[in-house]
Amino acid sequence: MKNLIILATLFLTVSSSCKKDPIKSLPGCVQDEISDFKSNKLCPSDSKILEYSFQNQKVYVFEEGSCGADLSSTIIDEDCNILGYLGGFPGNNVINGESFDSAKLEQTIWKD
């Protein structure tokens, strides 16, 4: 029984230490953009920040949520350059001349 308790404690310690905060592993300017977005988001809920692979780089999508049909999502790269906007009133889906449908979702960084 004592061995079982030791094994369970060891397992919980190892498994909980493997989880890392995805925001802390991002470039500093992206972390700053995330903080600003979270403080100034337009929708009270349903907002999120997603990381994608697109055009051989990591990009970050700042989705305002569904509180307004005209809201667009901002796309930035790792250097915080704005690459473009998705959605909005015109329903744009093209960034740098390429459909964003080719982007691969890597992870959800944050959601409300």
Residue in the structure block whose two tokens are 């999502």: 73
Measured between alpha carbons, how far is 106 from 51 in angstroms, rounded to an integer? 5
In a domain, 29, yes or no: yes
Residue 10 pLDDT greater than 50, yes or no: no
Please tell me the total count of domains within the chain. 1
Evaluate whether 72 touches 63 at the Cβ level (below 8 Å): no
In a domain, 102, yes or no: yes
Average pLDDT of the segment spanning 99-112: 96
In a domain, 28, yes or no: yes
Domain extent at residue 82: 21-111
- Position 13 scores a pLDDT of 47
**Residue 101 DSSP label:** G
- Position 6 scores a pLDDT of 47
In a domain, 45, yes or no: yes
Strands 98-99 and 104-111: what pairing? Answer: unpaired
Instruction: Name every residue whose Cβ is closer than 8 Å to that of residue 14 and which is 6 or more positions away in sequence.
Output: none
In a domain, 9, yes or no: no
In a domain, 8, yes or no: no
Measured between alpha carbons, how far is 67 from 44 in angstroms, rounded to an integer? 8
In a domain, 88, yes or no: yes
pLDDT digits (tens, 9 = 90+) for 40-88: 888 877 899 999 999 999 999 999 887 766 789 999 999 999 999 999 8
Q: pLDDT over 90 for what percent of the chain?
A: 58
In a domain, 16, yes or no: no
